[in-house]
Amino acid sequence: MRLWVGLGNPEPGMLRQRHNIGFMALDVIARRHGFTPWRQRFKGLVAEGNVGGEKVLALKPLTYMNASGESVQAAQAFYKLDPSAITAFHDELDLAPGKVRVKRGGGAAGHNGLRSMDRMLGTPEYWRVRLGIGHPGDKARVTGHVLGDFAKVDMDWLLPLLDAVADAAPLLAVGRPEDFMTKVALLTQDSK
């Protein structure tokens, strides 16, 4: 079983924020792959499905970004999952809008959701799907950028990106992150 975690904030007014791209990605994956309806569990919302022949539990923590690890740790402990079975989908300032990178482990790079997961899991050795939202160019503007809603013009790259992530998800599920990144890049090249 794989645990795929979308990082975001649960307030209805926050749903369109750049910080919630992890929630958005899981929503599209769950729809595309016919997951069960979302239900409350592990201090979050969960849906179950099958991606690429692998059982996947999708989790959207309702604990707010800064405490995401509480929800993730509860699900990890219940299913006795190794950190390598966990993948976090999250916003990434240091990637251009629409770019995707997958890596295992590493630092939190100032991301409070990852920092909370590292603390609660006791290790950073889980997978990360870094979804580029771009940097506003000035450190003083980072918070407003991350917590700001996607603009209408962003839909030109955001919607194709979310579709591509869902289409390529089977490659991620079977442990082929390089092929996943390549497929996402190919599927989104016309939207940039």
* Domain residue extents for the chain: 2-191
* Predicted pLDDT at 110: 84
| 2-191: CATH number | 3.40.50.1470
Catalytic residue, chosen from 19, 90, 111, 145, is 19
Whole-number pLDDT of residue 108: 86
Tally of residues, the chain: 192
- Whole-model pTM: value is 0.96
Widest distance between CA atoms in the chain: 45
Please give the pLDDT value at position 191: 60
Is residue 145 among the annotated active site residues?
no
One-letter amino acid for residue 104 of the chain: R
Query: What local confidence, expressed as pLDDT, does residue 155 receive?
Result: 95
pLDDT for res 109: 83
Q: DSSP secondary-structure letter at 17?
A: B
Q: What are phi and psi of 52, to 5 degrees?
A: 60, 30
* pLDDT at 192 (0 to 100): 53
Please state whether beta strands 127-132 and 86-92 pair in parallel, antiparallel, or not at all (unpaired): parallel
pLDDT of the chain, 192 residues: tens digit per residue: 999 999 999 999 999 999 999 999 999 999 999 999 999 999 999 999 999 999 999 999 999 999 999 999 999 999 999 999 999 999 999 999 999 999 999 888 889 999 999 999 999 999 999 999 999 889 899 999 999 999 999 999 999 999 999 999 999 999 999 999 999 999 998 765
**Beta carbons of 125 and 86 less than 8 angstroms apart:** no
Residue 75: is it exposed, middle or buried by C-beta count within 10 angstroms (0-12/13-18/19+)? buried
